[in-house]
Structure 1
Amino acid sequence: MSDTNSHTEQVVRDFVAWENGDSSKVDVVSESLDVYNPGLDGGEVHDRESYAAYLQAGRRAFPDIQIATEEIVADGDIVMAEVRITGTHEGEFKGLPPTGRSVDIKGMGKFVIIDGTVEECYLYYDSNEMASQLGLTFPEILGQLPKLAWRKLKTSG
């Protein structure tokens, strides 16, 4: 592995540490970061602050959330990483009350590194897998309906 590849791999590891809440790693995150992620509203954001807000909302919903790189390969300024996201749904998530269930989702990330910062991040995973693990697919959702109806009644009055 070349020094360039090991450096870009470390940039991605630091980026994931930042995603996990280590603010000391912010220097590897471009201010004009472009993120493409099926979990984002509209599927994308185009600046570091918007992505940080999304991550913070995720930590409120899943206080023990952890994003990990399991395999990582670099070729120049492009890094591919197998990622694993785990956490327990203990707070409101996109309008859904906590289920208390855990998620364990695998996916792939493609990272474009320019001048030592992550400029672009493309995350690929099955977003239906999260819904399924949270019990939000039919017929599991039937158990959530009373909570959802109660919440809707409370917020509409």
Structure 2
Amino acid sequence: MSDRSAPNSRYKNHVLALNHAFNTGDLAGVDDLLTPDFAERDMPPGPEGYKAAVRQLRAALANARSEVLGLVAEGSTVVLRVRLTGVHVGEIVGVAPTRRKVDVEQIHFYEGRDGRLATHHYIRDDLALLDQLGVRSDVSATMYLRPGRQTKHGYMARFAG
């Protein structure tokens, strides 16, 4: 392994370890993976903020599972694509428990610094999540934002005979 690829491998392994920690709920090793000033949107800084986010999401989704669909690293940046599944048993995105199954994809961006992960940004498909929770009344609106996904209620259904 060259010196140039070492950070890629290290940061990729850190991201996979975080995903494993999410899946198991065992957050004991998270402090070793994140910088003391780790920054995640909408959460307090540091490893404690990250752990609080994981606990909150795991409390909202029974049998929560984050399946890795893709992982790419370039320099100190790692991009992770996952499928998040579970059963909605606690408040999530302001929605009270529905006991419905959830199956959504997410993309996570991590930036490493000094051998640890320093920042985390993500893109979630909250429209799909709200659809699955049964709280959106206009399902067809998601067709404009999620091309390639068609349902019997979607945009193209309006033109069907």
TM bracket, shorter-chain basis: 0.7 to 0.9
Shift of 1:19: 2.9
Q: Which residue of 1 aligns with 2:157?
A: none
Report if aligned partners of 1:15, 1:118 keep a CA contact under 8 Å in 2. Answer: no
Question: What secondary structure, in the 3-state scheme, does the structure 2 residue paired with 1:131 have?
Answer: helix
- Between the aligned residues of both structures, percent identity stands at 28
Report if aligned partners of 1:11, 1:116 keep a CA contact under 8 Å in 2. Answer: no
TM-score (norm 1): 0.73
Q: Which residue of 1 aligns with 2:106?
A: 107
Aligned CA distance change for structure 1 residues 116 and 17 (closer, same or farther; 3 Å): farther
Shift of 1:79: 0.7
Alignment of 1:3-152 (within 5 A): 3-20=6-23, 21-26=25-30, 27-36=32-41, 43-93=42-92, 96-138=95-137
Distance between the aligned counterparts of 2:113 and 2:71, measured in 1? 18
Report if aligned partners of 2:11, 2:117 keep a CA contact under 8 Å in 1. Answer: no
Shift of 1:16: 1.7
Aligned CA distance change for structure 1 residues 51 and 73 (closer, same or farther; 3 Å): same
Residues 120-142 of structure 1: per-residue CA shift (max 9 Å, x gap): 011112212111111111169xx
Question: What secondary structure, in the 3-state scheme, does the structure 2 residue paired with 1:103 have?
Answer: strand
Question: What secondary structure, in the 3-state scheme, does the structure 1 residue paired with 2:89 have?
Answer: coil
Q: CA RMSD in A?
A: 2.2
Residues 42-87 of structure 1: per-residue CA shift (max 9 Å, x gap): x454332223222212212212111232211111111111122111
Mean Cα deviation higher: 113-122 or 3-12: 3-12
Question: What secondary structure, in the 3-state scheme, does the structure 2 residue paired with 1:98 have?
Answer: coil
Aligned CA distance change for structure 1 residues 25 and 107 (closer, same or farther; 3 Å): same
How many pairs are equivalent? 134
Question: What secondary structure, in the 3-state scheme, does the structure 2 residue paired with 1:55 have?
Answer: helix
Ranges in structure 2 where 5+ consecutive residues have no aligned partner: 140-161
